[in-house]
Chains A and B, each alone.
Chain A
Amino acid sequence: DQQVKQNSPSLSVQEGRISILNCDYTNSMFDYFLWYKKYPAEGPTFLISISSIKDKNEDGRFTVFLNKSAKHLSLHIVPSQPGDSAVYFCAAALPQGAQKLVFGQGTRLTINP
């Protein structure tokens, strides 16, 4: 039962263009969402997050959009840079509780020069 899904295993984007990574979820009780970036053989690093009371959060080149009615969130990276090549995971959290995160399968982003 995959509550958080990233349906695109990989994405290739030209340097300087916009990268859009998508994530869908099934549990309407999730109230906080996060994006992590992961390089091979390293731990994930936090990128950006959004609370369910917002529909957009921006941090430099990274913007996360949340569409609660569609149970969909997306991460926009603009402009894309070679260092952005990595695997990106979205994660969702339920209110209160133990702050457990439910992760998607990840999308491998490749930025081409």
Chain B
Amino acid sequence: DGGITQSPKYLFRKEGQNVTLSCEQNLNHDAMYWYRQDPGQGLRLIYYSQIVNDFQKGDIAEGYSVSREKKESFPLTVTSAQKNPTAFYLCASSIFGDTYEQYFGPGTRLTVT
């Protein structure tokens, strides 16, 4: 049963702490993405990776970091430098081809107080 898993579903942290969100896919997709969704806004791209050991900043990368050591995994770290970290975080993956379709995980709701 192929898909994308994100854990945990809900995450609570104190301000000033770094937190890492997990994203795993077993679709054998080359590319992976991290998005952030805030109320009333669309999905904004944080980071993306086309191949292992390579990743690029998206539109709102400040305060975030990623790694891509394995094809299946693309963890996102929300650092204490991120000014407004409370949001719904979505991970996606895709194959390179003609469709541009991205497959999304169920998301992680991060609340920082």
Contacts and interface: CB of A to CB of B under 8 A. Distances in A.
The finding on whether chains A and B are genuine partners in a shared complex, rather than unrelated, reads: yes
Interface of A: 4, 6, 9, 32, 34, 36, 41-46, 49, 51, 89, 91, 93, 98-101, 103-106
B100 A93 contact: yes
Given A89-B43, A98-B48, A42 B107 contact: yes
The residue in A9, A41, A51 that gathers the most chain B C-beta atoms within 10 A of its C-beta is A41
A101 to B, nearest CB: 6
Contacts, number: 66
Given A4-B42, A44-B43, A103-B42, A98 B56 contact: yes
B50 A98 contact: yes
Given A49-B99, A105-B40, A100 B45 contact: yes
9 contacts: A41-B107, A43-B105, A46-B101, A51-B98, A89-B43, A99-B96, A101-B100, A103-B42, A106-B41
Interface residues of B, number: 32
A49 to B, nearest CB: 7
A89 B42 contact: yes
Given A43-B105, A98-B48, A104 B100 contact: no
Q: Which 10 A-B pairs have the closest CB atoms?
A: A43-B104, A103-B42, A93-B100, A103-B43, A105-B42, A32-B100, A44-B104, A43-B106, A99-B100, A43-B105
